[in-house]
Amino acid sequence: MLIEERRRAILEALRLDGRVVVDELAKRFRTSQVTIRKDLEILHSAGKVHRTHGGALPAHEGALEDPTLREKEKLHRKEKVQIANAAANMVEEGQVVILDSGTTTTAIARALRHHKNLTIITNALNIAAELAGSSLDVILTGGTLRKNSFSLVGPIAEETLRRLSADILFLGVDGFDVNYGLSTPNLLEAKVNRAMMDVARIVVAVCDSSKFGRRSLSLIAPPSEVDQVITDRFAPKNDIHKLRKAGIQITQVDAGAQQVSPDFRKARSSKRHK
C-alpha cells in the first residue's frame, strides 16, 4: 500500500469509528508503530486529525457544530455501551434518575430497562420511547422540540424540572474542557441541563474520550459542579489527573476488556453539597 493510500485509509477508519489507535493501525496495515505515528503527525499538521496519546480523534469541530442524534449514534458505540453499563450499576432500586438527551444517555436508558422500581425523568423523546415498554415510571418534561437531538427545551422544560427532585443525573455533553467546563452547542439545551443539575443530588457526566478538550457555544457548568465522570480509557491523562485532583471521582471503562476502574466502587457514596 502506498503512503497516501494508507493515510486515506486511516482517515476513513477515523470517520467510521470516531477514533483510531496506533497499535491497532500498525497491525491492520502491517507496518511499525513508528510509521503510524508519523502518519498521524502529518495528518495532524494538515488539520485532518487531532493527535492524542496513543492515537487520534477527528479534527476539532467548531463551537456551533451540532450533529444530529443519528450521526452521533455511529461514533464510539462500544465505549458508550460500557459507559452505560457502569452508569446503570450505580443506580439502586427506588431511586429517581434524570437522563438528558444524547446517545450515551440513550444507552443508559437501555441498560436500565430491566431495573425495578425506578422513576426516570427525561427531556428526550427517544429515551421516553425507549422506556415505554418497560416497568419503569417515566416523566417527560414537556417543552419545545429540538429536532436534531429529539430533546425538549425552553421554559416549560425548565419549570417542570424545578418542581422535581432526583437522586442522580446522568449528563451527556458535547464538550468537556477541564479548564472551562461542560458545554453544548445549543443555548436552550444548556439552560435545561443547568436546571437538571440544580435538582439532582448527584451529578455524573457521561462522555467518551472524544469530548475532552472541546468547547461548544454554551457553557452548562464548570467541572466543580460535577461529582463524578464516567469515560473510557483513552481520555487524556492530564485531564483525568486534573479532575481527580479537584476531588471528582473518575470511572474509566475499557470497551475491550469490559472492565471499569477501581474508582467506580466509591461512586455510591458520592454526595453533592449545594
- Which tens digits make up the pLDDT trace of 191-210? 999 999 999 999 999 998 88
Residue 236, pLDDT above cutoff 80: yes
Higher pLDDT, 200 or 264: 200
Residue 72 has what pLDDT? 55
Residue 25 has what pLDDT? 93
Residues 6+ apart with CB under 8 A from 149: 68, 69, 101, 102, 124, 186, 189
Residue 230, pLDDT above cutoff 50: yes
Higher pLDDT, 69 or 222: 222
The pLDDT-based confidence of 112 (bands split at 50, 70, 90) is very high
The pLDDT-based confidence of 64 (bands split at 50, 70, 90) is very low
Higher pLDDT, 75 or 232: 232
CATH 3.10.50.40 fits 3-58, yes or no: no
pTM, full prediction? 0.73
Q: Which three cell numbers stand for residue 31?
A: 507496518
Q: Which of 1-5, 58-62, 209-213, 221-225 has the lowest mean pLDDT?
A: 58-62
Residue ranges of the chain assigned to CATH 1.10.10.10:
3-58
The pLDDT-based confidence of 274 (bands split at 50, 70, 90) is very low
Average per-residue pLDDT for the chain: 86
CATH 3.40.50.300 fits 69-269, yes or no: no
CB 129 within 8 A of CB 145: no
Residue 157, pLDDT above cutoff 50: yes
Residue ranges of the chain assigned to CATH 3.40.50.1360:
69-269
Residue 63 has what pLDDT? 45
Cα–Cα dist 41/44, whole Å: 5
Residue 47 has what pLDDT? 75
- Summarize the confidence of residues 156-166 as an average pLDDT: 97
Cα–Cα dist 114/100, whole Å: 19
